[in-house]
Amino acid sequence: MDTLLLSRIQFAANISFHILFPTINIALCWFLVYFRLRRGAAQDKESAQGWEEAYFLWTKIFALTFALGVVSGITMSFQFGTNWPGYMEKVGNIAGPLLGYEVLTAFFLEATFLGVMLFGMERVSTRVHILSAAMVAIGTTLSAFWILALISWMHTPTGHVLDGNVLIAGDWVKVIFNPSFTYRLTHMLLASGLTASFFVAGLSAWRLLKAPQDAGALRTLRAGALVAAVLAPLQVLVGDLHGLNTLEHQPGKVAAMEALWKTQKGAPLVLFAIPNEETRRNDYAVQLPKMASLILRHDMDAEIKGLEEFAPDIPPVAPVFFAFRVMLGVGVLMLAFAWAGSWILRRRVPRWLLWGFAAMTFSGWVATLAGWLVTEIGRQPWLVTGILRTADAAGRVSEAALGASLAGYAFVYSVMLVAYVVVLTHLAREGAEP
């Protein structure tokens, strides 16, 4: 296997593993602030106890998730140097400060306040305790701001200037607020919200299946379902806007997402197909005529550029196409569950619904990872669109060393992921003891 592909797989494995945990925690922290506030505002004993148990249980889950995010995040900061030296060489003067700000403002806020938030309940006042939780939440959200600014710049670079052979920032405002930034940031923050909502709802449902009287779990199930019901339609809207923005700035990626090989007016929406890279056609295609033009350009006869316009610089089509459909499919499922579930939960808590929510616990992970695969694979062969190709950024590590490190990471990550899920489901099932 060639070393470039190995390096790409390794980076993808590292960053995919890492993203699982902040995606939950960015929003979960805000949930914790909410649970803590509800505990403070509770009027009767049952309510107070329920919210308090919820707060303690979910704090434990947050801490476990945070530990996994931290350790995999540390690995990320080394990946750039070990595997992609060309990246820092060419665009380091822009990537560096943005990565630095992510680390400085966010990571450090979290790490210092987290200790107080997790262990300080008896040692600090209620106000300081809630404030610490809010600081951690702000920290994680800020972290998303900086890293998404960098990632978006890699997709739609603006504000840069050439200095000799390398890039430097000409205008930091243009660098940060590049064309795709606000869309991608909002899309990701909503993704975190949805992931955490289904995570909370699912694990609460899991608990209720064992202990239907658990007051805390019932409250958190309803909270998760309701937040999801509000966020899901917003995400549909933002996702659409993000797609339109991508059409404007990265039309090649959209062509891959829709498996549109030829430029055409009235482009069909391909529901399912096996894209054939050799023949540059879709085999076994099931499609709706003109619908892609309608969705993308709001005009059934509008012209959509096909992959042929961007050859030979086109991304691998099949992964982008399928990942996009997975993301959309899970998204629709989330919307249906959130709306139907919230409605039903107003009056009753049927067991079949609990099983349903439990099954949807990690739906956010699936959708979020699928979405990231779409956007990152969709950007290939570019690492920074139009400026740096992925192939030109790779380092010269031997195949043996790469194979060893990839195998090592894959093994450790698998073990940690399994352990995480096992402990999580056990914790959720047994409930909290404060």
Partner 1 sequence: MNPAFWLDLPLIFAVLMGAAILAYVVLDGYDLGVGMLMPAATDAEQDVMVASIGPFWDANETWLVLGVGILLIAFPAAHGQILGALYLPVAAMLTGLMLRGVSFELRLKAKGWHAELWNWLFWFGSFLASFAQGYMLGRYLTAFQPGFGSMLFSMVVGAALCGGYVLLGATWLILRTEGELQKKAMAWTKWGLLWVALGVALVSIGTPLASEIVRDRWFDFPRTLALMVLPLATLAVWLWVWTRVGKSDWHPFAGAVAIFALAFAGLAYSVFPYIVLGGITIWEAASHPSALKVTLFGVVLVLPFLIGYTVFAYRVFRGKAKAGLYGH
Task: Enumerate binding residues for partner 1 (CB under 8 A).
Answer: 56, 59-60, 63-64, 66-68, 70-75, 77-78, 80-82, 85, 88-89, 92-94, 96-97, 99-101, 103-105, 107-108, 111-116, 118-120, 123-124, 163, 166, 168-169, 172, 395-397, 401, 404-405, 408-409, 412, 416, 419-420, 422-423, 426-427
Cβ atoms of 144 and 189 within 8 Å: the answer is: yes
Where helices occur in 346-394 by DSSP H, the ranges are: 351-359, 363-378, 390-393
Query: Shortest approach of partner 1 to residue 139 CB, angstroms?
Result: 11
List 162's β-bridge partners, or say none.
167
User: Smallest gap, in angstroms, from Cβ of residue 102 to partner 1?
Assistant: 9
Minimum CB distance to partner 1, residue 117 (Å): 10
| Strands 382-384, 388-389: pairing kind | antiparallel
* End-to-end Cα spacing for the chain: 51
Closer by beta carbon to partner 1, 107 or else 145: 107
CB of 208 to partner 1, least distance (A): 21
Of 245, 137, 136, 247, residue with least CA distance to 189: 137
Q: Minimum CB separation from partner 1 for residue 188, in Å?
A: 21
Is the separation of the CB atoms in 215 and 349 below 8 Å? no
Nearer to partner 1, 169 or 304 (CB): 169
For residues 130 and 36, the answer to whether their CB atoms sit within 8 Å is yes
Q: In whole angstroms, how close is the CB of 296 to partner 1 at the nearest point?
A: 37
Toward partner 1, which CB reaches closer, 4 or 318? 4
* Closest CB to partner 1 among residues 172, 272: 172
Residue with smaller CB distance to partner 1, 336 or 422: 422
H/E run at residue 138: helix 126-155
Two tokens at 341?
């579930």
Nearer to partner 1, 271 or 419 (CB): 419
Asked whether the beta carbons of 308 and 376 are under 8 A apart, the reply is no
Smallest CA-to-CA distance from 331 within 295, 293, 369, 302 is with 369
Q: Is the peptide bond before 381 cis (omega within 30 degrees of 0)?
A: yes
174 exposure class (CB count in 10 Å sphere: 0-12, 13-18, 19+) = middle
Q: What is the rounded CA–CA span in Å between residue 41 and residue 398?
A: 60
Q: Give whichever of 111 and 286 is closer to partner 1, judged by the CB atom.
A: 111
> Following DSSP, what letter does each residue of 290-325 receive, concatenated?
THHHHHHHS-TT-EE--GGGTTTS---HHHHHHHHH
Nearer to partner 1, 21 or 51 (CB): 21
Nearest residue to 377 via CA among 393, 390, 366? 390
Minimum distance from residue 299 beta carbon to partner 1 (Å): 43
By beta-carbon proximity to partner 1, the closer residue of 71 and 336 is 71
Q: How far is the CB of 166 from partner 1 (least distance, A)?
A: 7
Whole-angstrom Cα distance, residue 90 to residue 162? 10
Residue 72 C-beta: closest distance to partner 1, Å: 7
Q: How far is the CB of 62 from partner 1 (least distance, A)?
A: 11
CB 215 within 8 A of CB 49: yes
Q: Which is nearer to partner 1, 295 or 397 (CB)?
A: 397
